[in-house]
Amino acid sequence: MIKRLFFSYGFYILIFLLIIIFTLISNHFMSLSNWTQISIASCFLLTAAAGLTVVLITGNIDLSVGSIAYIAASVAYLSADQGPIITILAVIFVGAFLGLINGFLIAYLKMNSLLTTLGLLIAYRGISLVITGGTVQKIGEQLSNFGNYKFFGFFPLIFAVSLILVIGIQFIMKFTRFGRYCYAIGNNEISANKLGIPVKKIKLYSFIIAGICGALSGLLLAMYLGEVTTFTGRGMEFQAVAAIVIGGTSLFGGRGSIMPGTFAGVLLLVIINNGLGSMGVSPYVYPFVAGSIIFLAIYLDSIKNTSSK
Amino acid sequence: MIQKSIIEMKLITKIFPGVTALDQVSLKAVGGEIIGLVGVNGAGKSTLMNILGGVYKANKGKILINAEEVVFNSPLDATLCGISFIHQELNYFASQSVAENIFMSDLPMHKKFPFILSQADLYKSAENILSLLGSNIDPRVPIEELSVGEKQVIEIARALAKGNNIVIFDEPSSSLSITEKNKLFETVIKLKQEGKIIIYISHFIEEILHLCDRYYVLRNGKMVGEGNVKEVSKNQIITLVIGKEILVKSKNYKYDEKQKFIKIKNFSQGNKLKNINFEINRGEILGIWGLMGSGRTELLRCLLGLDKKDSGEIIIAENKNLNSITPIELRQKCGFVTESRRIDGLFLNESVKKNITSANLKLYAEGIFKIINTNSELGDAESFINKLSIKTPSSLTKIENLSGGNQQKAIFAKWLNKKPQILILDEPTRGVDVGAKQEIASLIMNLANEGISVLLVSSELEEIVNMSDRVLVLRDGTICHEASGSEISEEILMATALGGN
């Protein structure tokens, strides 16, 4: 019983403890301006991870989300003169299209999702490098202003966008037939097929959702910075997978959630970075701490999975 | 009065390449009755039911539901005609709730909002169906938290939810505890009262007698008997199942009392194995026989420490001392021919040579860097290839290119290379042709003559009868009979395994 409680809520306890520790050590950590900072730092990862969670729940993986984010940001640069509406629509379209390609290859041509999207991670990044010429490029000014807008002076617009996405996707996963089918496919694809669930279609949709979320994540980052840098989305796929798994979603599919799961996972990673920063720890230590926590989460996931069998 | 549904299978013939699996078999079932289908493994029960379930197509014959001919091209077609198949291995979605598992193919939607599920309807209808089955399982809990028996109830509930009228149970009780079995029987009787047609496949005759109204007996693809359960005795059914053509082979292998070698004491595991005790002598072939689900595999796995045991001790006579050893130590002393060689018997991508030497590589590892001496490896492999006459183009051929019989001989070579004192054989001749079968049989007998103790598990009765010096008959996880000498006959072994006298 205690063991189960620990497996299910362990990382919530960890977040809580970390917040207490950081608050006690650093007097800057609990300030409103710092939490605004935390929300900005988390919204990019949160947006990408929300869509990716759907793919993981069906038992697949999409490593190309970071590169899709970069392409989306490049599209924002290309359409800088067309006004914000056109840019936003173009970004969503590009995300959906790239997700469609991933999903088609994996669901219909039955390619392995890990290897396919690993290859596409590199290819998509290449496309963006061609578009941007591998340098920093400006995006439209209006979007850039939106990217730095804060409601009531402290609540960032971009965080609100990611929060709406997270809640929306969680709603879909919990209350619609599509959501149940995703879990069913992740649990037992063969049975799902036998029951007449449209397995291929559901998988395709899950990759489209991940593609759109990845693209929006890139757009949010470009809006915040006002420009597209070559760092956009680099390594984001791994951070996202880590956050998702920390949040309790299984790499083997069939179980997990976006809210509270993935949301808390992202928060944990961001709080660690932010807290260590406000404590004045050298930034070179962050990857070690974050990596250790990711390792712990994945280790717990595998224990959970082997013990339930 | 409700219209009773009737299903009829008429003169079904199914031919697989080289084998007539079913020969003009007919079966008829009416709503509200439980049909028991009996027969040994390979008698054709599964083939017949797979035809009814749409998995196979019959070569001849037809299926009538309510006097209308139906044709099934896929399992889905059969489902649409109201046929549900409850398999031994259950299909379920582990992390999802009981209710979702029941209604997964037909989730109830919200009446007002598009795309949204109605949770209330989902749980309510699940509760209704479960109470119909007399079960009080909470439809909200994840199905993975249920026991095997409860999961089976959910599978039955799924059949009911689809409104299916014909429910086929394939050996449903083999993985259940006694209380779960009783629950299952209650559920099946509930289904009967609902007016469903139930076909219940089992080789446990007692269950058939207890539960069913009518019985059908299949043997070698032919329907050899049918009738009312009330008018038949257990031994009559057993005779029908086994048939009369029993070949009694004279044994030319003489059993003589040699020194005791290994003693197995009090092996128990849950309700799969109950207090198993036996001894093996040097040079003896000890057969272990029992039907599927009797505990054969569990016993081997427990002995070798592949599954955890609740209790039990292994005592071995070494250098005139009696030592208690752990299953892992036993594994080091024995060779273990597993039942599925392609899965856990061979390194399919490797050469014959590497497969033969793989169990005793330390023999060839030389120096501080443990470099493999490939020459002596090759020499040993070739000598085994000659000795066991393994037919292979060369010792460097990939083993997956060999025939099943030669692969099996290579597995024997692998273990013999370890010079074991005990050989544990699980289905040693499965999937090999007749010729290789005999070669392997005489190989096993020769090894026993050389003093190796052999533990032989096989589902082929003939093999057990022809080779064993003694046979332990397992039923429900206990040794129900020990046969030796003239008692080792197909008739006696089958009868005791089925629970007769």
B270 Cα to chain A: minimum distance (Å):
17
Residue A2 resides in a domain: no
Residue B347, helix vs strand vs coil: coil
Contact A187 B104 (CB under 8 A): no
Per-residue pLDDT of chain B (501 residues; tens, 9 = 90+): 456 788 999 999 988 776 678 889 999 999 889 999 988 766 788 888 888 888 888 899 999 988 888 888 887 788 888 888 887 777 889 899 999 999 988 888 888 888 888 989 999 999 998 888 888 899 999 998 888 788 888 988 888 888 888 999 888 876 677 777 888 888 889 888 888 899 998 877 888 888 999 999 988 888 888 899 888 888 788 788 877 543 334 344 555 555 678 888 888 888 888 889 998 888 889 999 988 778 888 888 888 888 888 888 898 888 778 888 888 888 888 999 988 888 888 998 999 999 999 998 888 998 888 899 999 999 999 999 999 888 888 889 899 888 888 899 999 999 999 989 899 999 888 777 666 777 888 888 888 888 889 999 987 788 888 888 889 999 888 898 888 888 888 888 888 888 765
Enumerate residues 6+ apart whose C-beta is below 8 A from B18: none
For residues A199 and B274, give the distance between their C-alpha atoms in angstroms, rounded to a whole number.
44
Residue B354 parent element (H or E): helix B352-357
Range of the structural domain that residue A211 is part of:
36-296
* Alpha helix (H) residue ranges in B276-346: 296-303, 327-333, 341-344
Residues of A whose CB is below 8 A from B86: none
Q: Please check whether residue A241 is in contact with residue A61, taking contact to mean a CB–CB distance below 8 angstroms.
A: yes
Instruction: Supply the pLDDT for residue A99.
Output: 97
* Spans of chain A, pLDDT less than 50: 308-309
Hey, what are B166's tokens? 């014909």
Q: Please check whether residue B206 is in contact with residue B181, taking contact to mean a CB–CB distance below 8 angstroms.
A: no
Q: How many CB atoms lie within 10 A of CB B317?
A: 15
What would you report as the CA-atom Rg of chain B, rounded to the nearest whole angstrom?
26
Instruction: Supply the pLDDT for residue A309.
Output: 43
pLDDT tens per residue across span A101-127:
999 999 999 999 999 999 999 999 999
Domain B6-242 class in CATH: alpha beta
Residues of B whose CB is below 8 A from A308: 94, 144
Residue A12 resides in a domain: no
Q: Please check whether residue B471 is in contact with residue B284, taking contact to mean a CB–CB distance below 8 angstroms.
A: no
Residue A29 resides in a domain: no
DSSP code of residue B375 = H
Amino acid symbol at B259: Q
Instruction: Supply the pLDDT for residue A306.
Output: 64
Contact A183 B104 (CB under 8 A): no
For residues B227 and A154, give the distance between their C-alpha atoms in angstroms, rounded to a whole number.
83
Using CB atoms, which residue from A188, A254, A255 is nearest to B91?
Answer: A188
Residue A220 resides in a domain: yes
CATH of domain B260-349+411-498: 3.40.50.300
Give the CATH number for residue A137.
1.10.3470
Strands B422-426 and B453-457: what pairing? parallel
Instruction: Supply the pLDDT for residue A122.
Output: 94
Contact A254 B107 (CB under 8 A): no
* Alpha helix (H) residue ranges in B199-245: 205-211, 234-242
Hey, what are B155's tokens? 């599978």
Domain count, chain A: 1
Domain ranges of chain B: 6-242, 260-349+411-498
For residues B297 and B209, give the distance between their C-alpha atoms in angstroms, rounded to a whole number.
27
Residue A13 resides in a domain: no
Instruction: Supply the pLDDT for residue B312.
Output: 87
Residue A149 resides in a domain: yes
Instruction: Supply the pLDDT for residue B247.
Output: 39
CATH topology match: B6-242 vs B260-349+411-498: yes
Phi, psi of A293 (to 5 degrees): -70, -40
Whole-model pTM? 0.73
Q: Please check whether residue A243 is in contact with residue A262, taking contact to mean a CB–CB distance below 8 angstroms.
A: yes
Contact A176 B144 (CB under 8 A): no
Q: Please check whether residue B212 is in contact with residue B202, taking contact to mean a CB–CB distance below 8 angstroms.
A: no
Contact B115 A176 (CB under 8 A): yes
DSSP chain A: -HHHHHHHHHHHHHHHHHHHHHHHH-SSTTSHHHHHHHHHHHHHHHHHHHHHHHHHHTT---TTHHHHHHHHHHHHHHTGGG-HHHHHHHHHHHHHHHHHHHHIIIIIS---HHHHHHHHHHHHHHHHHHHHTTS-EE--HHHHHHHT-EETTTEEHHHHHHHHHHHHHHHHHHHBHHHHHHHHHHH-HHHHHHTT--HHHHHHHHHHHHHHHHHHHHHHHHHHHSEE-TTTTTTHHHHHHHHHHHTT--TTSS---IIIIIHHHHHHHHHHHHHHHHTT--GGGHHHHHHHHHHHHHHHHHHHHHHT-
